[in-house]
Structure formats: C-alpha cells, structure tokens
Structure 1
C-alpha cells in the first residue's frame, strides 16, 4: 500500500510517521524540507502522488488544500485513477464539498476527514477522525485510518459533514482554552496558588480536557507551539463565518475569538495557544506560574 502525504508539520508529519511504522510505504512532501523516519521525501505534490493508493493532505486551510491538489505541479496530475484523497485540514464545509466534487469528477475518491488530538497523538497514531464520504472511499482509506486513528467517526456519505462536525468541535476547543486562561488568571490575581488551583479544578466538575491539557503549559511557562494561537484565530474565524452564513448567533465563540486576536496582536501568534493567558497576565500584572 503506497501512501502520499502532503503537509509534514506537527500533525501531518506525525501521521506520516505513524503510517510508516504501521508498515505502509510512505512518501511525503512539504514546502519546507522535512525529514521523518521511514518517510521517503518527494520533490513536489505531483511527485508524492505518483503511484499512491492513498493521498493524505494535512495543510492549514482550504486555499492550501486546493493549491496542493489542483495548482501548478499539483497532486491530482500524478494521482492514479481510483486513489482516495483524505482531506484532514480544518476547512469550511462548503469548501470541502466543492473540492471533493472536483476530486471525484477527476476519477478519484474523496474523504472529508478532519482530525482532533494534537501533535503527540498524531505521532502515536491515536487521532480522532471525523469523516464523511462514500463507503468505497472509507474502504480504500482504511489502511491509513487504521494506522493513524484511535477512533474513526463515520458520519455518512455527504462530503462536508466531517468538516461541519470539526467546526463545532473547534468552537468548544477554542472557548475552553480561552476560559481556562481566564479562570487561572482570575485565581492568581485573587491570590490563589496556581498549581493548587489547577489540581482542585482537575478534580472537580469545572474541568475539561483542554483545561487539563493546556494549563500545564501555562504553569510551566512552556509556550513552544503544539497548536499555535494563530490556529484558533483561523478556526474560530471559521466558526463565526459559519454562524453568519446560517444566521446563527455565536456570542461566546466571538468573545473567545477576540482573546486569541488580542494574543496575536500582542505578538504571541506563533506561540502555543495556551499563550492566550498572556493577554490576561498583561492586563492584571500577574503571571500564571506554577514553578
């Protein structure tokens, strides 16, 4: 089974490595040359797709997905007929529908399959996939999904459903991170010990997965990007765009988006998304430091 991977960042690189460890033959391409154990580098998107049974595209947004598939030297010019394209970027459902239709019209299968779990779970092959597409596409993609996923939610045949579910997920993820930062900063400003506060909340009803995962980054002052602030500027922007399209109010998501925008404006855009806490720290003259 030959797999091509476009996008070898923290997520795509981890997925490529997990696929290689599972015994798949993996070629990878990124605009920034990247070396991953077990993954053969390719010179272009076209080259990475040649001979591939499965093409995984893990890029930042819909424009990059479209360019990597259909642009000059794009993957579809080299992809064999009947191969499956797995699109795992977080993009609007309307873009997934449009791009998926073009891929299918070119004689390929398409799986709208965004993921959750972060870089560590990507490297361990333990991601959650929110996927929609035909039964044939799921069957063709199965070796890659088996290698990279702890859980695959099969959300039906309609391309775009996977992206819709991921959009809702990102609403909650972004709000939970911003709320965790706000809560921790309030506690420290009021005089609570940051690490004790964290331990209490982790053992009480107010906890969330994001709280338990991101607050340690704040406590340890470790803002090396696993998922950057700018990702949630983009993803919560996508959430708000979806709400505008549906004429659906999203005041809580909008407030969280403003906090990530504030963090990016303050120069923290390329830091870990937990750096949204620095907005509160600057305003209150505190530091959420558990060291």
Structure 2
C-alpha cells in the first residue's frame, strides 16, 4: 500500500514509523523541516508534493481546519490520491465537521473514514493506538492495511461519518476532567504537606487511581513540562464537548469546570506546555512548590 501520513508530530510521527515498519510505502507530510528530518524516511512539506496514486492518507492534524487545508486546500493531498482511495481522518473535531469533510471526499470520488485516535505518543510509536471509527464497509476495507499497522484496537462505531468524531468528543470529556482532577488532587496533597512521590505511589496502587493520574502526575514529579499533549489541546477539545452538549441540550458541568482550568493554564502563559501542568493554576493560587521544579532549582 502506498500511504501518506499528514502531521508528523508526537502522534503522527509515531504512526508513520509504525506504518513503515509494517511494510507500507509511507511518505510523511509536515511543513516543519525538523519533523520531516525526525521521520527519517521520505517526507514532503505539502500534500501536493506527494507522488500521484496514494492508496490511503492518514491525517493527524490538530483540528478540522488543518485537516481540510491539508486535504482540500490549494496545496492539499486529495488530488494525489488514487480514485477510490481512502482518507483516514484522525483529527479531533465536531461530528458536523467530520460529515462535511466526508461529503467533500465523496464529491471527489474518494472514500472517507472518520477515525479519531487515542493512546498517546508511545502507543503511536508502538503501533497500538485505539481507533474510534465510522464509515462505509468500503472505507474500512480500503483502510485495513493502514489501520492494522498503526492500531491495537479498531472500534467500528457505525456506517456514518460523524459517529467516530462524537465518540472522541465524549472520550475527551473524560480525559480532560481526569487530568484536571489528578492535578487538583496532587496540588491539595502538596499543600497539605504530603510527600508527592508517596502520594503518587499510594494513589496508583489504590482505587482512586486513573490512567491519567498515573501518566500525567509522573510528568509533574519529574518537573518535565515537555508538551507531549499541550494544555491548549484541551481548551479546544473541551470546547468541542461544550458545543456538542449544547446541541444535545445536556449540561456538562464537570467538563465546563475543567475547560476553565485549562483556559487558566493558557492565561498563565502555560498553554503550550504539557497538560499535566494545569497544576500550575493551583500553584499560582497557593504558592505550592512542585516537586520536579523544586529539585531543578537546587
């Protein structure tokens, strides 16, 4: 299979490497020269630079606007896809945006798979992302070699584009709330004089643990705010949660509160840092010293 991966960031770069290891003929696409060099295989700056006849294109951009530009913009990849080829779009977006992109693909004679992903950079590098997908049987069949290369589990959520996007929005409600709750718990522990490493060890061995607590609070203990997933991502994604909830006439108070905390992280000038460091909102309010940062100051 001749496949392109658009967006060579922490998820896309890992997915491209996984597809390459699986034997696919992969070309990476990213405007960043550094990202292209890190891929270490064929890579181009724009979709229009791809060789003609691509069988599949995996899109791992930040949002729907970037996905549309990467596929259907002036320098987009869609004209380089073979007739009947499949666009596998994994950017987080609203269901309506997914349906609009699918309609555009169909008008061009291309298949479309609404296929958001989860699992983080490590899962992407190891080819075991979770895919939440919806689309036609033909789209799933066309994407199968690519999906098998990059995923550990593919959930088939229906035949209509938009269902995958809706599932990802629900997932991001949980992810955002869990990160905010983990940060709040660790901040309270530090403020109360508990030793952070011990708190981490106790929680991760007990019923109050979550995947996000174990993963993200480890970053806090290390004082490493390298943005594997930036706080600003949750300003966007929890905004999608609120929009979908309004359309459904359903209150989402926990998601709304978590959104405000990530907005506060951005307001502190920290939105581009790792989302675990939403804990700096509590630091700003109370003056607590974070463990990794205290160690780095010595």
TM-score by length of 2: 0.95
Asked if residue 5 in structure 1 is aligned to residue 5 in structure 2, the reply is yes
SS of alignment partner, residue 248 of structure 1: coil
Partner of 2:161: 159
Report the Cα offset of residue 67 of structure 1: 1.1
Report the Cα offset of residue 38 of structure 1: 5.3
- Contact conserved, 1:181 with 1:215, CA < 8 A, in 2? yes
Listed as ranges, the gaps of 5+ residues in structure 1 are none
Q: Which residue, 54, 67, 70 being the options, matches 1:68?
A: 70
CA separation of 1:49/1:136 partners in 2, compared to 1, >3 Å: closer, same or farther?
farther
2:29 and 2:208 map into 1 onto residues whose CA distance is: 42
Report the Cα offset of residue 48 of structure 1: 2.4
Partner of 2:26: 26
2:238 and 2:267 map into 1 onto residues whose CA distance is: 16
Q: Which residue, 220, 223, 229 being the options, matches 2:225?
A: 223
- Contact conserved, 2:187 with 2:282, CA < 8 A, in 1? yes
CA separation of 1:138/1:257 partners in 2, compared to 1, >3 Å: closer, same or farther?
same
Q: Which residue, 172, 177, 186 being the options, matches 2:188?
A: 186
Q: Which residue, 90, 93, 106 being the options, matches 1:91?
A: 93
SS of alignment partner, residue 267 of structure 1: coil
- Contact conserved, 1:229 with 1:260, CA < 8 A, in 2? yes
2:40 and 2:52 map into 1 onto residues whose CA distance is: 18
SS of alignment partner, residue 133 of structure 1: coil
Report the Cα offset of residue 37 of structure 1: 4.5
2:48 and 2:169 map into 1 onto residues whose CA distance is: 29
2:88 and 2:39 map into 1 onto residues whose CA distance is: 22
1:53 and 1:143 map into 2 onto residues whose CA distance is: 10
Asked if residue 16 in structure 1 is aligned to residue 16 in structure 2, the reply is yes
Report the Cα offset of residue 106 of structure 1: 1.0
Report the Cα offset of residue 243 of structure 1: 1.1
4+ residue runs over 3 A deviation: none
Report the Cα offset of residue 5 of structure 1: 1.3
Partner of 1:201: 203
SS of alignment partner, residue 23 of structure 1: coil
**RMSD value, Cα:** 1.2
1:74 and 1:177 map into 2 onto residues whose CA distance is: 35
SS of alignment partner, residue 54 of structure 2: coil
1:37 and 1:169 map into 2 onto residues whose CA distance is: 29
SS of alignment partner, residue 77 of structure 1: helix
SS of alignment partner, residue 265 of structure 2: helix
Listed as ranges, the gaps of 5+ residues in structure 2 are none
1:38 and 1:190 map into 2 onto residues whose CA distance is: 48
TM-score by length of 1: 0.97
Deviations 1:61-110 (A, max 9, x none): 11111111111121112221100000000000110011101101211110
SS of alignment partner, residue 208 of structure 2: coil
Aligned length: 291
Q: Which residue, 117, 120, 135 being the options, matches 1:118?
A: 120
SS of alignment partner, residue 75 of structure 2: coil
Report the Cα offset of residue 36 of structure 1: 4.0
Q: Which residue, 46, 49, 74 being the options, matches 1:47?
A: 49
